[in-house]
Chains A and B, each alone.
Chain A
Amino acid sequence: MTSALETASTVRRGDVTAVEVVRACLDAVETADRQLNAFTAVWRERALDQARTVDGVIRAGRDPGPLAGAPFAVKNLYDVAGEVTLAGSRIQSDAAPATEDACLIRRLKRAGAVLVGALNMDEYAYGFTTENAHYGPTRNPHDHDRIAGGSSGGSAAAVAAGLVPFSLGSDTNGSIRVPASLCGVFGLKPTFGRLSRHGLFPFVHSLDHAGLFARSAADLALIYDVMQGADVADPACARRPVERASETLDRAGELRVGVLGGWFEANASRQAIAARDKVAALLGAAPAPLPGAEAARAAAFCMTAAEGGALHLANLRSRSGDFDPATRDRLIAGALQPAALPALAQRYRRRFLAEALALFERFDVLIAPATPFPATPIGQPDVEIGGERVSIRANLGLYTQPISFIGLPVVAVPVLGQELPIGVQLIGAPWTEARLLQAARRLEREGVVGALSLDKGLPCK
């Protein structure tokens, strides 16, 4: 699968039709996904119909949009008109079909992109492994015996396997950055409030972010640009003007880069540290202290459990047997926790945000590993961290949770030269996605990061 940019260019030039592109994509999905289990639905006829519409626009001499004919797929918590939004659960399979597409899907379709299917995830997005009890585990394209990460595991795996050039996911505590790291692709979690969440099944209202996966910084920037813009239907969506990242992608000036230490390197594997150090060396990074990250992660954990538990309380009462037991018990625990904890977590959030913003007076970009270790075997329940066995499902987001807790934008970049994929977070001040994408682009051009091929750990062309 070529990039979304290249695909759209060839379709717009008339070198290939959108129908040909989409048919090839659908055929590849049909073959490869028997093993991967990244998709939970493939909408063949619907996708081909939309591709025909794109071709018709081109034949009529009109502009088909910057993503003309580029196939994409979405985490199955995105509303798609006429389809049931599963959110990785059995319970939602009884819900009525969505009446309209999610806002971001509408914007992508308007730009000519073609939706081909829905992607697997952890139940209700509560997990970091995509070992879904109802729909099966998504397998890591680089090693089918290993997890893809989660909760947007299907989204990352589909892009890593080259089945689609880009996909949409969501990130509450790391659910884009973790699977991007484990699958060796780029991921963007923008500033909280940047992208509309209208039409996404919620998990934690105060932490949910919409975002995306792609195989290059250029694709990430273009697709992000297409999706930007205010949306009154999402109360958290900011009323900011569109700040295009694709037009300034190659304009990287001098960057003041800091390496987060302390919590962000404690318990990291040698692979995670090696990947971080490669990025730090190229960007000339200096140490950057951000105390309080451990408490921030803990506060995010408790807030997540509280809001998630409250959201699902009715179903926990009436349909507890229809949940994945591991999800159910964590949600119940969240609903039962003393009210003082999420209240204190909210107070701590203000303190930690102030400390992080002060750090950005000295630095433009902060870097940290995206995950403490590469993908673990499917079915392995725990791992040793800090001398004790802890759940992988709950702890892969050690380094991502403190950052989404305060809504900062992050580009997760896949670092080359590792045995198994592992990624690094490029973290910015609020609303500096364009600068982060410039840094990602620079690293890509220098050969430090790139979407991994499925065999050699080399960048895909």
Chain B
Amino acid sequence: MALEDPVTIGAYVDAMASLLELQLSAESREGVIAALGGILRLGASFSDAPLAAGDEPLPVVRL
């Protein structure tokens, strides 16, 4: 799965960092790849959740 593949994530990081004009050292690049891999894995747990049309984005909780 691409989410588990540091090479794929690394290519994505390099492209996005370039677009956003972020300079990454080799050490930082490794740290970013690890952190982004974690985010993507966690993202899979809620992006697969069943959502209904009424589940509109809630940008700020208004209780």
Contact = CB atoms under 8 A, between A and B. Distances in A.
B45 A333 contact: no
A350 B49 CA distance: 12
Contacts of A302: 39, 42-43, 46
Nearest to A394: B38
Contact of A191 (B32, B40, B54, B63): B63
B61 A333 contact: no
Given A332-B32, A341-B47, A317 B22 contact: yes
Interface stretch (A52-60, A156-164, A288-296, A452-460): A288-296
Interface string A308-321: 00000100110010
B55 interface: yes
A224 interface: no
The CB with the most chain A CB atoms within 10 A, among B28, B35, B60, is that of B35
Interface string A424-448: 0000001100000000000000000
Contacts of B49: 292, 295, 348, 351
Given A302-B39, A341-B43, A345-B43, 15 more contacts: A206-B61, A298-B45, A299-B46, A317-B21, A328-B28, A330-B31, A332-B17, A333-B36, A335-B22, A337-B36, A337-B40, A340-B47, A348-B49, A350-B55, A350-B56
Interface string A344-370: 111111110100000000000000000
The CB with the most chain A CB atoms within 10 A, among B22, B40, B55, is that of B55
Contacts of A328: 28, 31
A406 interface: yes
The CB with the most chain A CB atoms within 10 A, among B21, B36, B63, is that of B63
B61 A353 contact: yes
B27 interface: yes
Given A295-B46, A301-B42, A335 B58 contact: no
Contacts of A191: 63
Contact of A294 (B13, B22, B27, B45): B45
A335 B60 contact: no
A332 B57 contact: no
Interface string B4-17: 00000000110011
A332 B60 contact: no
B51 interface: yes
B20 A350 contact: no
A329 B28 contact: yes
B12 to A, nearest CB: 8
Given A350-B56, A351-B55, A298 B46 contact: yes
A332 B61 contact: no
A349 B17 contact: no
Interface of A: 191-193, 205-206, 236, 238, 292, 294-299, 301-302, 305, 313, 316-317, 320, 325-326, 328-330, 332-338, 340-341, 343-351, 353, 394, 406-407, 430-431
A317 B20 contact: yes
A432 to B, nearest CB: 11
B22 A320 contact: yes
A335 B19 CA distance: 12
A205 B60 CA distance: 8
B55 A347 contact: yes
B61 A349 contact: yes
Contact of A333 (B23, B32, B46, B57): B32
A351 B63 contact: no
Given A332-B22, A333-B35, A345 B46 contact: yes
Given A317-B20, A353-B61, A296 B46 contact: yes
Contacts of A329: 28, 31-32, 34-35
B43 A298 contact: yes
B22 A346 contact: no
A349 B47 contact: no
15 contacts: A206-B59, A238-B63, A295-B46, A317-B21, A320-B22, A325-B27, A329-B28, A330-B31, A335-B22, A341-B39, A344-B46, A347-B56, A347-B57, A347-B58, A407-B63
Nearest to B13: A336
A229 B9 CA distance: 47
Contacts of B35: 305, 329-330, 332-334
B20 to A, nearest CB: 7
Closest 6 CB pairs of A and B: A329-B31, A333-B35, A346-B57, A430-B63, A298-B42, A407-B61
Contacts of A340: 47
